[in-house]
Structure 1
Amino acid sequence: MAIRTPDMILIDVDGTLVDSVPDLAFCVDEMMKQLGREPWGETRVRDWVGNGVERLVRRALIGQLDGEPDEAEFEKAYPVFLDLYAENTSKRSVLYPGVKEGLDYLRAAGYPLGCVTNKAAQFTLPLLKDLGIYDYFGIVVSGDTLEHKKPHPAPLLHAAEFFKVSPERSLMVGDSISDVKAARAAGFQIVCLPYGYNHGEDIRIAEPDLVIETLAHLKGELEQAA
């Protein structure tokens, strides 16, 4: 399916621009050890990422996607994780292949770019800066910037208003069902990458407008867009 030429492009962080699981998994496992419990390992943690670190900690405590841990245990664990992640936000995280190339093309082509993530600002901004991509974005909407976060449409609509662009002229690039739901609710087009964090499910099931292999592949699609 083809996409229409957008006037503005928003891009997700975790699972789209950055493979942040190595740092997140390290922090989860260290947290578990400090709680006197067995670590999970990177493969398990990878399926739990994508809805912010509070949700990740809750999932780690119960060892599954859905459900809630004992609240007292969560209250003990969460500060431990936050301290660990503050020191390990970008030590092991890397840009996915094609990200820098894709961002360079989008900037050169004159597209206003924004970043919309469910990660809290205290982790998002250092991560983007440490990996050298912060300056590509005219706005960064983090998970705690507004009252709501994805899949609510508010972060996307907030960025569209910032750039003074209508939702139907806007494009979201993400990797998860949360990105697809947010884009649909906001009236954006949605393009997804297949390699990210969608809890082990193929993102094509969520029926985005388009799936591309890397961010660099967006160039060809935009050059063909109506």
Structure 2
Amino acid sequence: MKPVEYSILFDLDGTLTDPKEGITKCVEYALNQFDIQVEHLDRLIPYIGPPLHESFVQLHGFSEEHSLRAVELYRERYREVGMFENLVIPGIPELLEQLKAAGYSLHVATSKPTVFAEQILKFYELDHYFGLIAGSNLDGSRSRKQEVIQYVLDQQHIDPRQAVMIGDRLHDIVGAKGCGMASIGVLFGYGSEEELRTAGADSIAETVVEIEQLAAHHAGAAG
């Protein structure tokens, strides 16, 4: 039997929506300003999920200064068109409806700036399912996934033992572990099973349909 106050936190990119087109095109736009040409947008898929600032440093060797400038350039295109070059992952609206009906408390914890996450979820008519939509700040603070998850827990007064984090990348899993909560890794996003298991995911969902059953399992285990 599920506890009344059991909470489910969702990542956004690669978990609720598929942002590939928008993110890769915006990264390409930013890189082009530094005279860096990209052979194929698929080469930029690793940018999906982690904090942008870190990705420009790690994936393209940018300095701190250049990385911050690249993020600004990325956002120039993203706020105008990129955030809407996005698709709701099939089955997600139905899943959210079922979870709400079952009495779970749903929230979003994303590395994406809160202002963009709110606009995306409102545009795709998913915002009403969530009690809190939390992300990073535009000034770059609260960009680590653990910080975002902890913010949700604090703001909603959630006991981490009565919650589970659902996401597609290692940052979601590591962030959840850092906050003392369980996690479900999903394989329909941009992280591999190896990445998620190595990070310590408590469960793996191959499809959207499996999430409800796994959430019920974790809720039951929480007592």
TM class by smaller structure: 0.7 to 0.9
Distance 1:151 1:183 in 2: 8
Q: Tell me the equivalent position of 1:65.
A: none
Long gaps (5+) in structure 1 = 63-67
How much has 1:69 moved relative to structure 2?
Answer: 1.4
Mapped partners of 1:147, 1:34: distance in 2? 25
- Asked whether the equivalents of residues 9 and 170 of structure 1 are also in contact (C-alpha less than 8 Å), the reply is yes
CA contact (8 A) 2:23 2:47 kept: no
Q: 1:143 aligns with which of 123, 133, 136?
A: 136
C-alpha distance after superposition, 1:131-175 (max 9, x if no partner)? 2211111001111289534343x4323322333331111111111
Q: Distance in 2 between matches of 1:105 and 1:46?
A: 31
Match of residue 212 from structure 1? 205
**Bigger share in helix:** 2
TM-score, normalization: structure 2? 0.83
Corresponding residue of 1:15: 14
Taking the aligned partners of 2:154 and 2:67, their CA distance within structure 1 comes to 36
State the alpha-carbon separation in 2 of the partners of residues 80 and 150 from structure 1. 21
Question: Which of 171, 183, 189 is the aligned partner of 1:178?
Answer: 171
- Whole-Å separation in 1 of the counterparts to 2:131 and 2:52: 25
- Tell me, yes or no, if the aligned pair for 1:102 and 1:219 is still in contact at 8 Å: yes
Mapped contact 1:58–1:74 kept (Cα < 8 A): yes
State the structure with bigger RCO (CA 8 A, min sep 6), 1 or 2: 1
Q: Structure 1 residues 136, 80: closer, same or farther in 2, change over 3 A? A: same
Q: Which residue of 2 aligns with 1:50?
A: 49
Task: Tell me how far apart the structure 2 counterparts of residues 157 and 70 of structure 1 sit (CA, whole Å).
Answer: 29
**Cα deviation, residue 119, structure 1:** 0.5
Coordinate RMSD, CA, aligned? 2.6
How many matched pairs?
216
**Structure 2: runs of 5+ lacking an equivalent:** none
